[in-house]
Chain A
Amino acid sequence: MIRIVGVRKRFGDREVLKGIDLDIPRGSNLVILGGSGMGKSVLMKHIIGLLQPDEGQIIVDGEDISRMSPLQLKRVRGKFGMVFQNGALFDSMSNWDNVAFPLREHRRDLKGAALDERVRHLFQLFSLDPDVVGPRAPSEISGGQRKRVALARAVALDPAIVLYDEPTTGLDPITTDQVDEMILDAKRKLGVTSIVISHDIASAFKIADHIIFIYDGQIVVRGLKHEMLTSTHPFVQRFFATWTAKNV
């Protein structure tokens, strides 16, 4: 269970989060929608402890992570995996080493053939050929492949909570569908909690147990497809009207 209580964050003169209250039950899929620069990524970075709120609390499984020391945070982060918007793959390593990195760091029991087998499995899980993509550098593969390598790295340690910052942006429809299915499978089979920032509304409606819409640092709509499409908030109406017009 993740509980966000009254979180506010300011960068210089600009208040990016203006009092966010949110409960995310264990094993559910939350999708965060909203326009660019509205505070979605900032909220996500608070949830994993990369940013600390100016006010408010982030409570993960009963522990307030917003005031934790780096050492305490390191322990809590074992529960999380995160897929960054642009992958954030380590460019000093090959794709293979990127995926193997969390396993080498935290699964010291996995060595040699067992480690190789696990990494191969992760590559194949995201339709990547480990023999072709693995030895290359992140800069030598396409944007979509980079995103899939980042996904493989994020789930390598079977985290209980996975955060996705636009996981399907730049992916082809087939891979997008695979990622959606993977998020649903992770919930169904492993009870994984997924928090997804997305601009892909079709994916959002498919995978979400809850959707929140953030506008100007505040949650302006909560619910599911019906609540989103019937919202009276002008920006939300425009957001979905544009999407509906494009998809009819």
Chain B
Amino acid sequence: MAAVGQGPLAFVQGAGELAVFVGRTFAWMPRRPFRWAQLFRHLRDIGFGSLFIVVLTGFFTGLVFGFQTLQGFRRFGAEALVGPATLLTLSRELGPVLTGLMVAGRSGSGMATELGTMRVTEQIDALSTLAVEPMQYLVVPRVLAATLMMPLLTAIFTGFGFYGCYLIGVGREGIDPGVFFFETWQAADPDDFYEGWIKGAFFGAQISLISSWQGFRASGGARGVGEAATRAVVLSSVSILVGTYLLAELLDPLIHGYIWFDALPK
């Protein structure tokens, strides 16, 4: 019986720990001194460091999405709509989700490994003894950097994805470029991009908080650090996939105005 209860108990304990960690991070965020140097270092690491993989995955996602969508649309003679269909999907869902998964794999594991190593080698304790708050020095800049860079990376992903779709639609299938862009222009809505960027920012915060938390609770040497990195990637990835649905439900009425529209006097 005890073994049966251990799983849920560990889950609740972990969720509680994470909630406290998130609370402490936001409590330290507005306090001085602001760690500008740390922030710029992580902006560079997360943003510039993830750029190549985001461009690559964005481009190939656009290629394959465009290719498969065309196969379906051809049955209805709607090949010209491949541009808007791809742009809508990339900007609202695939962009933030796949960018999040890439950043979780690259930067999330890196954060958990670096902070986990600092934990097991007592460097985090050393920071505390030097009267420097580790949450403020180590976690806050990472969370801010990931939250700021993810919308930008999402936009880049979407841009290169759309370029991949253009190459398939116009270059390979021979859709007239004018028609391709006209249809896209007609259907494109800035709100779709806002939704993707807001999701990206949320995913950035999720990845950095989960990965930092895993790093901070690492123990037991190199093996413990490795386990923390693995858990950081798995938990971040799952949280992105769960979060994208919850955010879609939340953001759709907010951004696309349905709540506000309904609230208006008739």
Q: Is the CB of B130 within 8 A of A101?
A: yes
Within the assembled complex, what's the spacing in Å between the Cα atoms of A81 and B122? 14
Chain B proximity mask over A182-217: 1 for CB below 8 Å, otherwise 0:
000000000000000000000000000000000000
Interface string of B94-122 (1 = CB under 8 A from A): 00000000000000000000100110011
| Interface pair A90/B132, CB less than 8 Å apart | no
Q: Is B128 an interface residue (CB 8 A)?
A: yes
Would you call A241 an interface residue if the criterion is a C-beta within 8 Å of the partner chain's C-beta atoms? no
**A113 vs chain B, min Cβ distance (A):** 21
Q: Which residues of B contact A78 (CB under 8 A)?
A: 131
Bitwise interface map of A from 80 to 120 toward B, beta carbon under 8 Å scored 1, else 0: 11101110111110000000011001100000000000000
Contacts A50-B128, A77-B128 given: A88-B122 contact, CB under 8 Å? yes
Pair A50/B121 contact, Cβ less than 8 Å:
no
Q: Which of A50, A70, A75, A153 contacts B125 (CB 8 A)?
A: A50
B121 touches A86 (CB 8 A): yes
Asked whether any CB of chain A lies closer than 8 Å to the CB of B186, the reply is: no
Q: Is B6 an interface residue (CB 8 A)?
A: no
Q: Are B123 and A88 in contact (CB under 8 A)?
A: yes
Chain B interface residue count, CB cutoff 8 Å, equals: 17
- Taking the complex as formed, is B126 at the interface, i.e. its CB lies under 8 A from any CB of chain A? yes
Contacts of A102 in B (CB 8 A): 130-131
Size bracket, chain A contacts: 20 to 34
Q: Tell me the nearest residue of chain A to B126, going by C-beta.
A: A88
Q: Is the CB of B123 within 8 A of A82?
A: no
How far apart sit A75 and B31, CA to CA, in the bound complex (Å)? 14
Query: Are A105 and B132 neighbours in the complex by a CB distance under 8 Å?
Result: yes
Does residue B173 face the partner (Cβ distance < 8 Å to A)? no
- Interface 1/0 per residue, B109-151 and A, CB below 8 Å: 0000010011001110111111111010000000000000000
- Pairwise interchain contact B129-A50, C-beta atoms closer than 8 A: yes
CB distance from B113 to the nearest CB of A (A): 12
In the bound complex, what is the Cα–Cα distance between A48 and B128 (angstroms)?
9
Q: Check: A74 CB closer than 8 A to any chain B CB.
A: yes
CB neighbours (8 Å) of A75 from chain B are 131
B135 nearest CB neighbor, chain A only: A70
Is residue A136 within 8 Å, beta carbon to beta carbon, of the partner chain?
A: no
Q: Which of B24, B117, B125 contacts A84 (CB 8 A)?
A: B125
> Are B122's CB and A74's CB within 8 A?
no
The answer, yes or no, to whether A45 is at the interface (CB within 8 Å) is yes
Residue numbers in B under 8 Å from A86 (CB-CB): 121-122
Residue of A at shortest CB range from B117? A91
Cα of A85 to Cα of B121 in the assembled complex, Å: 10
A84 touching B131, Cβ below 8 Å: no
CA gap between A50 and B126 in the complex, in Å: 10
Which residues of chain A from 40 to 96 have any CB-CB distance to chain B below 8 Å in the complex?
45, 48-50, 70-71, 73-75, 77-78, 80-82, 84-86, 88-92
Q: How far is the CB of A118 from chain B (nearest CB, A)?
A: 15
Which chain B residues lie closer than 8 Å to A82 at the CB level?
126, 129
Contact (Cβ within 8 A) B132 A45 = no
Which of A48, A50, A88 has the most chain B CB atoms closer than 10 A to its own CB? A88
Smallest Cβ distance from B123 to chain A, in angstroms?
Answer: 5
- Whether A88 pairs with B125 at a CB distance below 8 angstroms is yes
In whole angstroms, what is the CA distance A92 to B138 when docked? 12
Nearest residue, chain A, Cβ from B122: A88
The smallest C-beta distance from B53 to any residue of chain A, in angstroms, reads 23
Interchain CB contact (< 8 A) of A74 among B117, B121, B131: B131
Q: Give the 3 A-B residue pairs with the shortest CB-CB distance, closest first.
A: A88-B126, A88-B122, A82-B129
13 contacts between A and B (CB under 8 A): A45-B125, A50-B125, A71-B133, A77-B131, A81-B129, A84-B125, A88-B122, A88-B125, A89-B126, A90-B123, A91-B117, A105-B130, A153-B130
Residues in chain B within 8 A of chain A (CB atoms): 24, 114, 117-118, 121-123, 125-133, 135
Interface residues in chain A, defined as those with a beta carbon under 8 Å from any beta carbon in chain B:
45, 48-50, 70-71, 73-75, 77-78, 80-82, 84-86, 88-92, 101-102, 105-106, 153-154, 163
